[in-house]
Amino acid sequence: MKTRVLSAILLASTALGGAAWAETTLTIESWRNDDLTLWQDKIIPAFEAKHPDIKVKFTPSAPAEYNAVLNAKLDAGSAGDLITCRPFDTSLGLYQNGHLADLSDLGGMANFSDVAKSAWQTDDGAATFCVPMASVIHGFIYNKDAFAELGLNVPETEAEFFDVLEKIKADGSYIPMAMGTNDQWEAATMGYNNIGPNYWKGEEGRLALINGEQKLTDEAWVAPYRALAKWGGYLGDGYEAQTYPDSQNLFTLGRAAIYPAGSWEITGFNAQADFEMGAFKPPVQNAGDKCYISDHTDIAIGMNAASPNAEAARTFLDWVGSEEFANIYANALPGFFSLSSFDVPMQDPLAQEFVSWRGECGSTIRSTYQILSRGTPNLENETWNASVQVIKGAESPEDAGKRLQDGLASWYDPQK
C-alpha cells in the first residue's frame, strides 16, 4: 500500500513539475524604470492574455547605470532574455560581441521601414538585432495662453519665428524661450539638430555627410549655426548657467512662452503645466519650402543571444512588432511614437500635433548618431560644445563648422 501511495505522489509530482516547466518566464532588461507601471499594468497583461504559457517580468535598472549593469550581467551569464536597446553604437557593440541575436528573419520586422531599423542594424544593413519600439520628435512647445495674450500666431518661417521672439521680448511679460547652455547637450539636441534638418534636407544631407559627399563647412551645415547664433538674445538673463531642469521649470511655471523641445517632455509637462500647450515644427527658411523633422529612433528591444528561452522570446518580440503593441505603447507614453508602419492615432492632442508632422515633412535622425561619433574627437560631444559657443557668441558659425570638420576629418576616412 505504501509503495502505491508513494508512486502516486511521485507521479503527481512529476505531472506538476512538467506543467511548471511548460510555463516559460521571460525577463526584460531596461533603463526605463519610469515605465515599470506601464509594463506591469498594460503591456504585459495584453501579451499574456494571448500567450498564457509565457510569463513576462520587467526588471529595469537606473538609467545612468544601465549600460554597466547590463554588461556585467551579460558577462556573468545572468542577463534577462530580452534586452532593451539604445540606438546605434551601444547596441551594435552588444551584437558584435555576440550578446544580441540576429532578428532579421522575424516576421514583425516587415512592419518597419529601413530608416526605423537603421539604429539597430549593422552598417551594411545585413543584420537587424532589435525590434524598433519608439522614436522622439523635435520641435517647439509653446504656451497657448501667452500667445493669445500677446496676439501671436504660430510661426511657419524662420523670419516669422524671430519676429515672434522679438515681440515676446519687447512685451517683457515672458522669457521668449526657455533653454540654457549649462548642460550643453540641449543646445545641440533641441537647438542645432532640431532646426538643422530643414537646412541639410534631412536624410539627404545626413547620408551625404556619412559618405563624404558633404562637409560640415558646407552652407547647409553652417547656416543652422547662423540661426542658432541669434537665440542667445531670447533665452533670458543668466541662460549660460541655466540647467535642463531649470528650463523645464521656467516653462511649466508659465514664465517662458516657448520651449525648444523633444516630444519626451509631453507627459511631464502635462502633469506640471496649468496652461494649454501647443506645438509647432521647426520653421522653414522660406514659405512653401519642404520641411524636415528630427524623428529620432530612440528605443528598441532585442533578444539575449544566450537566452535559454529563445522560442518564447521571439514570440514576444514578434508581438512587439504588432499593431496592438504600437497602440498600447504610444498612447501610454505620449511623446514616444511608434516606429511601425501602422497608423497609430494619438489620444493626447499635443502628441498628435507632433506625430502629424510625419505626414507633412521628411523624417530624419540626429546627424551625429550613426557612424560619425565613433572616433576622437567625438562629433556628438563636439557638436554640443560648438552649439553652446555659437549661442553665446564665443565662436562664429563658420569657425564652429571648420572646427567640427577638422575634427571629423582627422579620423574618418570619407571626410579626409
Q: Is the pLDDT of residue 259 over 70?
A: yes
pLDDT for 383: 98
Neighbours of 199 (CB within 10 A): 24
pLDDT for 58: 98
Residue type, 184: Q
Burial environment of residue 198 by CB neighbours within 10 A (0 to 12, 13 to 18, 19 or more): buried
Q: Which residue has the higher pLDDT, 75 or 12?
A: 75
Q: Which residue has the higher pLDDT, 28 or 9?
A: 28
Q: What is the average pLDDT across 104-121?
A: 94
**Model confidence pLDDT, tens digit, residues 269-295:** 999 999 999 999 999 999 999 999 999
Q: Which of 386, 127, 140, 92 lies closest to 283 in space, CA to CA?
A: 140
Q: Average pLDDT, whole number, for the chain?
A: 94
Cell numbers linked to 398: 563658420
**Model confidence pLDDT, tens digit, residues 181-231:** 999 999 999 999 999 999 999 999 999 999 999 999 999 999 999 999 999
* pLDDT interval class at 15 (50, 70, 90): very low
Cell numbers linked to 285: 527658411
pLDDT for 18: 41
Task: Identify the three-state secondary structure at position 416.
Answer: coil
Q: What is the average pLDDT across 125-139?
A: 97
Cell numbers linked to 17: 513539475
DSSP string across 223-275: HHHHHHTTGGGGS-TTGGG--HHHHHHHHHTT-EEEEEEEGGGHHHHHHH--S
For residues 397 and 390, the answer to whether their CB atoms sit within 8 Å is yes
DSSP string across 322-374: SHHHHHHHHHHSTT-EE-BSS----SSHHHHHHHHGGGTSEEE--TTSSSTTS
**Model confidence pLDDT, tens digit, residues 329-384:** 999 999 999 999 999 999 999 999 999 999 999 999 999 999 999 999 999 999 99
* pLDDT interval class at 22 (50, 70, 90): low
**Model confidence pLDDT, tens digit, residues 32-68:** 998 999 999 999 999 999 999 999 999 999 998 999 9
The verdict on pTM exceeding 0.75 is yes
Q: Which residue has the higher pLDDT, 114 or 12?
A: 114
